[in-house]
């Protein structure tokens, strides 16, 4: 069962100890003992740790280098104890960029009184905004775009995710990089063993996700093989009862020495990259050949 808002799940109790552990993780990741960040050129980055709602079962680690945001990590609590690297990425406007959100709100003439970060999965990552007029708005955590959602829509999405919590939790244990329950630091030999970046294109121009059928019976292994062959994949997911359509492209791959594979997702609305496991992506959407 997911923690209710305001509750703290087991691994995060004792905030001082927790922050020390997560701080150790982020320093290890950013310093190169574990190396998504070497590939993303983030050595020496300073980590800023912030909780993500609802409840406190995930944390946003923003990486700051020379006074500029350079990347991020999502570290999640793994029951009954321990942590995992849910996703990570690089770019000047990564996930939950306050600067990007403020820019988008200004374009919509919205003055925010309150802003909170909500994270249920890589696909369901949003800002909840309360305007000075007390209007509740939701915005995409990656692009800052205002979404046609209400509190009720978000609650329904959480309920849909919680109904498959057991299988999703087991899937996460198998597919995301595990972090030690005692120190939240992976083994020092853990690193990205294979990395490939592909030239991306705009799926909105091609409309393969609208005009073509999705890849039939996809598996993380078969999708990895396509990416390794040098061919990107379009990706689309419908969320919140069909109110939101997300269209991304998988244009790269990281495979870790421990076996986990994270695909590099790009979006024409953002310059940042997100590395998400193919298993997590398959839970929310479909892949299309380019």
Backbone torsions φ then ψ of 204, nearest 5 degrees: -70, -25
At 242-258, the pLDDT tens digits run 999 999 999 999 998 88
Confidence band, pLDDT 50/70/90 cuts, at residue 174 = low
Residue 79 scores a pLDDT above 60: yes
Average pLDDT on 69-89 reads 83
The DSSP line for 17-69 is HHHHHHHHHHHHHHHTSS-HHHHTT-TTPEEEEEEEBTTBSEEEEEEEETTEE
Residue 16 confidence (pLDDT): 46
Residue 96 scores a pLDDT above 70: yes
At 189-214, the pLDDT tens digits run 678 889 999 999 999 888 988 899 99
Residue 70 confidence (pLDDT): 81
Residue 3 scores a pLDDT above 70: no
Instruction: Kindly list the domain boundaries of the chain, sorted by start residue.
Output: 192-289
* CA dihedral of 265, 267, 272, 277, whole degrees rounded to 10: -20
Residue 198 confidence (pLDDT): 95
At 254-265, the pLDDT tens digits run 998 888 899 999
pLDDT winner (highest mean) among 10-14, 25-29, 131-135, 185-189: 131-135
* Contact assessment for residue 83 and residue 12, using Cβ atoms and an 8 Å cutoff: no
Query: How far, in whole angstroms, is CA 32 from its chain's centroid?
Result: 21
Query: How far, in whole angstroms, is CA 49 from its chain's centroid?
Result: 15
The more confident residue out of 157 and 5 is: 157
Residue 190 confidence (pLDDT): 73
Please give the mean pLDDT across all residues of the chain: 80
Residue 34 confidence (pLDDT): 41
Residue 268 confidence (pLDDT): 85
pTM summary value: 0.83
The more confident residue out of 246 and 186 is: 246
Nearest CA to 57 among 78, 42, 36? 78
| Class of 192-289 in CATH | alpha beta
Separation of alpha carbons 214 and 289, rounded Å: 8
Residue 287 confidence (pLDDT): 97
Beta strands 68-77; 83-90: pairing state: antiparallel
Residue 99 in tokens: 């600067």
Report which DSSP code applies to 185: -
Residue 2 scores a pLDDT above 90: no
């Amino acid at each position: 069962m997911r923690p209710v808002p305001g509750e703290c799940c087991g691994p995060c109790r004792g905030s001082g100890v927790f922050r020390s552990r997560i701080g150790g993780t982020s320093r290890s990741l950013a310093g190169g003992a574990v190396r998504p960040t070497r590939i993303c050129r983030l050595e020496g980055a300073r980590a800023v740790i912030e909780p993500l709602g609802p409840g406190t079962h995930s944390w946003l680690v923003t990486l700051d280098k020379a006074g500029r945001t350079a990347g991020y990590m999502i570290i999640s609590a793994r029951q009954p104890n321990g942590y995992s690297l849910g996703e990570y990425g690089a770019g000047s406007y990564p996930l939950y960029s306050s600067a990007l959100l403020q820019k988008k709100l200004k374009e919509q003439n919205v003055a925010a009184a309150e802003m909170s970060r909500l994270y249920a999965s890589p696909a369901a990552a949003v800002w909840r905004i309360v305007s000075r007029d007390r209007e509740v708005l939701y915005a995409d955590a990656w692009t800052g775009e205002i979404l046609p959602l209400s509190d009720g829509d978000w609650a329904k999405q959480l309920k849909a995710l919680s109904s498959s919590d057991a299988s999703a939790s087991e899937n996460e244990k198998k597919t995301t990089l595990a972090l030690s329950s005692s120190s939240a630091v992976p083994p020092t030999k853990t690193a990205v063993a294979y990395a490939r970046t592909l030239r991306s294109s705009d799926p909105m121009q091609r409309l393969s996700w609208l005009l073509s059928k999705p890849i039939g019976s996809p598996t993380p292994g078969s999708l990895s093989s396509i990416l390794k062959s040098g061919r990107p994949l379009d990706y689309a997911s419908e969320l919140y009862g069909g109110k939101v359509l997300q269209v991304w492209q998988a244009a790269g791959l990281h495979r870790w020495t421990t076996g986990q594979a994270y695909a590099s997702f790009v979006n024409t609305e953002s310059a940042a990259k997100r590395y998400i496991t193919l298993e997590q992506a398959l839970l929310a959407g479909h892949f299309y050949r380019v």
